[in-house]
Amino acid sequence: MAVLPFQPTPFFANKNRAFWNLQLAGWGGALLLRASAAIANGQPLDLLAVIIVTTITGFSISLVLSVVYRQLINRQPIFTWGMTLLALLAAVALYASIEAWVQGIYSAGVSDSTFAQRFIGLIYIPATLLGGWTALYFATNYFLTVEEQADRLERLEAQATSAQLAMLRYQLNPHFLFNTLNSISTLVLLKQTEPANAMLSRLSAFLRHTLIMEPGSTVTLAEEIETLQLYLDIERMRFEDRLRTNFAIEDAANDALLPSMLLQPLVENAVKYAVSPQEEGARIDLTAKVQSGRLKVQVSDTGPGLKGPRQGDLLALAKKGGADTSSTGVGLANIRNRLMQAYGDNHRFETSSGSGGGFTVSIDIPFETADKPTAEAESEPTHSQPAEPAQPSPSVGFRPGRPMESNA
Residue 63 has a pLDDT of 93
Residue 283 has a pLDDT of 93
Whether the pLDDT of residue 351 is over 80: the answer is: yes
Query: For 249-287, what is each residue's pLDDT tens digit?
Result: 999 999 999 988 788 888 888 888 888 888 898 999 999
* pLDDT averaged over every residue in the chain: 78
Whether the pLDDT of residue 59 is over 90: the answer is: yes
CA distance 51 to 57: 10
pLDDT band at 143 (very low <50, low <70, confident <90, very high): confident
Query: For 10-52, what is each residue's pLDDT tens digit?
Result: 777 777 888 888 889 999 998 898 888 888 888 888 888 888 9
Residue 317 has a pLDDT of 44
Query: For 42-57, what is each residue's pLDDT tens digit?
Result: 888 888 888 899 899 9
Query: For 199-232, what is each residue's pLDDT tens digit?
Result: 888 888 877 776 666 656 788 999 889 888 888 8
Question: Can you tell me the mean pLDDT for 146-171?
Answer: 69
